[in-house]
Amino acid sequence: MIPVKGFSGHKVAVLGLGRSGLATARALRAGGAEPVCWDDNPAAREKAEAEGFMCQDLRRQGAFDAIAALIVSPGIPHLYPEPNPVVAAALQAGVPVDNDIGLFFRSLGGAEWDKFDVPPRVVAVTGSNGKSTTAALIHHILTQSGREAQLAGNIGRGVLDIDPGGDGSVVVLELSSYQTELARALTPDVAVFTNLSPDHLDRHGGMGGYFAAKRRLFSEGGPDRAVIGVDEIEGAFLAGQLAEGPGDDRVIRVSVARKLAGPGWQVFARKGFLSEYRKGRQAASIDLRGIKGLPGTHNHQNACSAYAACRALGLAPKMIEDALHSYPGLPHRSQIIAEANGVTFVNDSKATNVDSAVKALGAFKKIRWICGGLEKEGGIAALNDATDEVLCAYVIGREAAGFAMQLSVEARVCTTMAEAVEQAMRDAAPGEIVLLAPAAASFDQYDNFEQRGDDFVAQVQKRL
């Protein structure tokens, strides 16, 4: 646990008592603060009270009297699509609003670091797609290379729930826009921006607000090194804002769309080969094509970002290459779950938006595609430019018929995962791929994308 600093002897309100909320309350108490907790869910309040925390309705008049700060869980909107009443009350009372990420950065260091030869460092990864894989890949490379590392944030453990770092250790954080938009402190040593595509637009008031939330990790944090995916205009703009000139190697530009040139530091992938260039000369090259845990161009982008972050931490190219080959992949992200009778089954339930589904479709040939769910803002028309390898789509979800009508390939309305898997398996021939890449949210039928992916795995396994 990372005890929270700066609030000893003060009352601090905690809104939302899920995983991060409870971890925050514990860390506040460990730092000498008095947490005052609230969640609209009675079961969540009961769980907190069982640990000895005081629960008090933060919606009542005068709730923020004598409160030093309000800490908000990331899943709770604070401004858009409409102001949260508790957050609005705190702001009206002049009470600062923060989240667990902000508390983590303000509490991480201490006098004990003076005895370390190499102080602990933080790598923070954000972006629309690939941030989970990139963060997990960085963590894997570090641990395979013998470095002490912890994985936390939007993946793994809550940030305040991790252990204090040791000499030369690294904390790898995956940070969503929900987490970066509100944190009052953001000071990573290395910050990574994977890419940007439309997502969570209602939460951020549009694309500009969404990009602004991501950008805060760099503009507020001032990392020593920034790894920036430049294949979208927003990434190119961000890299341009951070660099003092073309040769500024504090910015490492990453691409899978083109060869990068110039006097700076670049990492890019073309035709399955990762290349690192510094000062106009090639420094390393890695063949990514045979790495099973990283199929497709989108995973090559993740590999480039992870490689660049690890190089910024001082790891040698050969050490990184060896670790890439042993990376097993993450559940629900281009995860090969079975191979039977020449057919490969891939679970990419994390492809919850059009852009991530397009990337998944581009990673394979001869696809039996299971898709559908709760459509996100912007529609699904862009999918039709990526379906050259799709033999047939098997559409799930409550609005499966409407989803299927928008596709330019043969599509069958299956509604349920069981029926989609049944039909896809019956149709599949040797050499083909049965791919779950929904291009939609899961909430019409499942609690989350993990539950949807688990259902796909279960339906496949029961038929093999």
Annotated binding-site ranges for ATP: 127-133
3-class state of residue 100 by DSSP: helix
CA distance 188 to 123: 6
Binding-site residues from annotation = 127-133
Let me know: does 147 contact 141? Beta carbons within 8 Å: no
DSSP at 157: B
Query: Residue 343: in which H helix or E strand, if any?
Result: strand 343-347
CA distance 70 to 292: 45
Please provide the DSSP assignment of 365-427 as one string: SSEEEEE-SBPPTT-SGGGGGG-TTEEEEEEESTTHHHHHHT-SS-EEEEESHHHHHHHHHHH
Task: Give which of 22, 43, 52 is closest to 161, Cα–Cα.
Answer: 22
Let me know: does 286 contact 325? Beta carbons within 8 Å: no
Q: Backbone phi, then psi, for 312, in 5-degree steps?
A: -65, -25
Please provide the DSSP assignment of 234-273 as one string: HHHHHHHHH-SSTT-TTEEEEESSS---SSSEEEEEETTE
3-class state of residue 308 by DSSP: helix
Collect all residues with Cβ–Cβ distance below 8 Å to 39 and sequence separation of at least 6.
Answer: 15, 16, 17, 18, 21, 45, 48, 55
Per-residue burial over 56-95, b = 16 or more CB atoms within 10 Å of its CB, e = otherwise: eebeeeebbeebbbbbbbbebbbbeeeebebbebbbeeeb
Q: What is the dihedral of CA 413, 415, 417, 419, to 10 degrees?
A: -60
Beta bridge partners of 344: 339, 433
CA distance 282 to 320: 16
